[in-house]
Structure 1
Amino acid sequence: MSIPQKLFSEFLGTALLLAIVIGSGIMGERLAGANEAIALVVNTLSTIGGLYILIEVFGPISGAHFNPVVSAVMAYRGLLPRASLPAYVVAQLAGAVVGAWIAHAMFDVSILQLSMKVRSGTGQWFAEVVATAGLLLVILRAPAARVAAMVAAYIGSAYFFTASTSFANPAAAVGRMFTESFAGIAPASVPGFVGAQLVGAALAVAISSVFAGAPVATEIEPKPNV
């Protein structure tokens, strides 16, 4: 794949991911009324399915990062040319903003919005550290054939076990800044989330280095039947 093809893959994949996250949040709110639990379930299930499909479709083209910290870790480990990292990040950030606009257009609401939803505090920042570290560990340790399913399953789980509902992605934080909907985040809250995500990514790299050389699940020879 050429660099333009890879960058367009990251742009389009990230745009579709944010359209899924934000659009399902809007739909969940409309279906559930004031019941945020049901809205979160709708949002989570849609994200699990959409993320799995996007990784399967775009993975062979660009790696399906859709996430600046994933691209940064891949570049650090030599799996992405470091010269390509800035362009990957720009494509992901641009895609995230366009994804928010796509969601708004589908639901016939104002295209240009800015969230007022404050997401802040030690608990939410720590949750983003945990969510991002877990996501990167899954990506780094999952068998290649299972990455899409395991990443989607982890994110779906983290929607509920983290206080922040698991953004785990600076591009997602930026894109969700531009929607005044269920999935939104106020601009003032974004730096804290992004900082926590960077810490989580560094932590994942450190933990992964401890297991350097250890086989992944499909590489472990099965035990003979007794």
Structure 2
Amino acid sequence: MTVLARRAAAEFIGTAFLVMAVVGSGVMASRLSPDDAGLQLLQNSLATGAALVALIVALQPVSASFNPVVTLVERALVMIDTGTAATLIVGQVLGGLAGTVAANLMFGLDAVSWSTHQRTGPSLWLAEVIATVGLLLVIFGTVRSGRADRVAFAVGGYITAAYWFTSSTSFANPAVTIARTVTDTFAGIAPPSAPAFILAQLLGGALGYFLVRFLYPSIASSAVATADRKVFS
């Protein structure tokens, strides 16, 4: 198996398990705490953050972006080529959909059930821009400052917190957004709401890219180059 195939497989598997954590914990939370939305969100956010830490630690030696925006920023930073970026993004989107189907089936639901959970409005779109910018700063700031071994904990902690400080509960990921359209559960998002979320995430990605370039300019240091390769190779 080629290196690219292994990376695509890692992105597929990692994104699938991430979405299983998001959707599955959402279903479990709504069943265990049906009358307490705050407790549901706490359960959902803790499970997602913990899963992210574990998945990044496990798959980081192969590939552990799990997010098309992160992959696009890698491409913009010339860390990967266009063909690699496209392949990894396909793996992420398909993995996310597979994760939703698996979560639905685990909880006795239809494999695919279009969400009716409308999430729309300027406040939510702004939240997605901010959540995505913050995620990119956490990822690339940690890596480009030579602390790649801590990125899993930084990302897991940030996403757990962002569930609470953003009105959108911090999707910050187009692959996860697409995947959450096919589950009519606590974590779902109605298909008509998804495009605006994705556009907001892409805008956040562009802003995040420029901030990363400004705060962490390219440095011809072996430490930064090695850290980049460890996380994104």
**TM-score normalised by L of structure 2:** 0.89
Q: Which moved more, 1:145-154 or 1:103-112?
A: 103-112
CA contact (8 A) 1:25 1:183 kept: yes
- Paired position in structure 2 for 1:162: 166
CA contact (8 A) 2:141 2:216 kept: no
- Paired position in structure 2 for 1:97: 97
- Paired position in structure 1 for 2:33: 32
SS of structure 1 residue aligned to 2:138: helix
CA contact (8 A) 1:72 1:85 kept: yes
Distance in 2 of aligned mates of 1:188 and 1:214:
39
Distance in 1 of aligned mates of 2:183 and 2:33:
19
* Runs of 5+ consecutive residues of structure 1 not aligned to the other structure: 220-226
2:197 to 193, 198, 209: 193
CA contact (8 A) 2:177 2:189 kept: yes
1:202 to 202, 206, 209: 206
- Paired position in structure 2 for 1:222: none
Letter in 1 for 2:51: G
Distance in 1 of aligned mates of 2:8 and 2:218:
32
> Residue by residue, what CA displacement relative to the aligned partner does 1:108-163 show, whole Å, maximum 9, x if unpaired?
11112100100000000000000000000111101211100000000000000000
- Paired position in structure 2 for 1:50: 51
CA contact (8 A) 1:56 1:148 kept: yes
SS of structure 1 residue aligned to 2:216: coil
- Paired position in structure 1 for 2:11: 10
CA shift for structure 1 position 81:
2.2
By relative contact order (CA 8 Å, sep 6+), the higher-ranking structure is 2
CA contact (8 A) 2:12 2:95 kept: yes
SS of structure 2 residue aligned to 1:119: coil
SS of structure 2 residue aligned to 1:60: coil
- Paired position in structure 1 for 2:124: 124
- Residues 75-154 of structure 1: pairs in structure 2 closer than 5 A: 75-142=75-142, 143-154=147-158
Distance in 1 of aligned mates of 2:81 and 2:217:
22
**TM-score normalised by L of structure 1:** 0.92
Over the matched positions of the two proteins, sequence identity in percent amounts to 40
Distance in 2 of aligned mates of 1:61 and 1:11:
12
Distance in 2 of aligned mates of 1:114 and 1:212:
41
Q: How many residues align?
A: 216
CA contact (8 A) 1:76 1:82 kept: no
Letter in 1 for 2:48: T
- Residues 172-187 of structure 1: pairs in structure 2 closer than 5 A: 172-187=176-191
CA shift for structure 1 position 213:
4.1
Distance in 2 of aligned mates of 1:214 and 1:198:
22
Q: Which moved more, 1:96-105 or 1:203-212?
A: 203-212
CA shift for structure 1 position 34:
2.2
CA shift for structure 1 position 174:
0.2
- Paired position in structure 2 for 1:211: 215
SS of structure 2 residue aligned to 1:71: helix
CA shift for structure 1 position 106:
1.1
Distance in 2 of aligned mates of 1:2 and 1:213:
28
Superposed structure 1 runs of 4+ greater than 6 Å apart: none
Instruction: Report the aligned-residue RMSD.
Output: 1.6
SS of structure 2 residue aligned to 1:181: coil
CA contact (8 A) 2:138 2:154 kept: yes
